[in-house]
Amino acid sequence: MMKLKLEPDSEQLKVLCLGAHSDDIEIGCGGTILQLLRTQRNVFIWWIVFSATGKRGVEALQSANLFLQDAAGKEIVTKEFRDGFFPYMGEAIKDYCEELKHAICPDLIFTHFRKDLHQDHRLISELTWNTFRDHYILEYEILKYDGDLGSPNLFVHLDRAIAEQKIKHIRGCFKSQASRSWFSEETFSALLRLRGVETNATDGYAEAFYARKTNLSFCGSPR
Ligand SMILES: [Zn+2]
């Protein structure tokens, strides 16, 4: 299948990653970020975690720094909004998003899936679209008990080494989650393999996204 290739408007590709909780960005699009940083020289990444308190906050910072070690530039922000209560403190979170809108201008944004069944995830997704109205937004998926996986429409093929690196980083950084039944190499690998099968990934691994709006253009001058 022919592939769409990323072409930033300027020399530097500016990426914004939004995650409700400490490990969401890594689980949802960590492989894509690693793949992006391996193939693009000049990438600046804003990495914002809305709920990262105590030990989870320390883990979030450690992990973000590990995932972004090859970025040309980065800004990591951890906030302390109350886990599980985002819809009930929407005003404060929206105020923060309004601040962001005036402070940064990303080319590409990764955020939660609009139909994610976790209330915190869903609110961040809604506010992303409210806030950034002329930006390319990709929604990532998080495997969970609620069972809200759907049929994504955009895939990023991952090299086997990148897939393994993603899982190793996540399991190494978020020790506080180790006792959770789903926090295992098997489940992370399973979803990557499943999406890899759906898109004929060369190494068999892929991350998947929902691209609700994509503008298609063609390279070259008019003939
Ligand atoms: Zn989460």
pLDDT digits (tens, 9 = 90+) for 16-72: 999 999 999 999 999 999 999 999 999 999 999 999 999 999 999 999 999 999 999
The CA 114 to ligand 1 mean position distance, Å, reads 13
In which residue are the tokens 């600046």 written? 44
Over 80: is that where the pLDDT of 218 sits? Answer: yes
pLDDT digits (tens, 9 = 90+) for 174-203: 999 999 999 999 999 999 999 999 999 999
The CA 25 to ligand 1 mean position distance, Å, reads 9
Place 98 in a pLDDT band, splitting at 50, 70 and 90. very high
Burial 168-192 (b: 16+ CB within 10 A, else e): ebbeebbeebeeeeebeeebbeebb
Q: Which long-range contacts (CB under 8 A, 24 or more apart) does 200-205 make?
A: 200/1, 201/155, 201/157, 201/158, 202/157, 203/157, 203/158, 203/159, 203/160, 203/163, 204/160, 205/31, 205/157, 205/158, 205/159, 205/160, 205/162, 205/163
pLDDT digits (tens, 9 = 90+) for 107-150: 999 999 999 999 999 999 999 999 999 999 999 999 999 999 99
DSSP for residue 88: G
Closest CA to 16 of 94, 89, 68: 68
**Is the separation of the CB atoms in 154 and 208 below 8 Å?**
yes
Over 90: is that where the pLDDT of 219 sits? Answer: no
Over 80: is that where the pLDDT of 83 sits? Answer: yes
The CA 49 to ligand 1 mean position distance, Å, reads 10
Q: Please tell me the pTM assigned to this model.
A: 0.96
The CA 220 to ligand 1 mean position distance, Å, reads 42
Predicted pLDDT of residue 156: 97
The CA 66 to ligand 1 mean position distance, Å, reads 19
pLDDT digits (tens, 9 = 90+) for 143-171: 999 999 999 999 999 999 999 999 999 99
| Dihedral pair phi/psi, residue 21, rounded to 5° | -120, 175
pLDDT exceeding 90 applies to what percent of the chain? 91
The CA 27 to ligand 1 mean position distance, Å, reads 9
The CA 83 to ligand 1 mean position distance, Å, reads 9
In which residue are the tokens 């995932």 written? 67
Predicted pLDDT of residue 220: 76
Predicted pLDDT of residue 26: 98
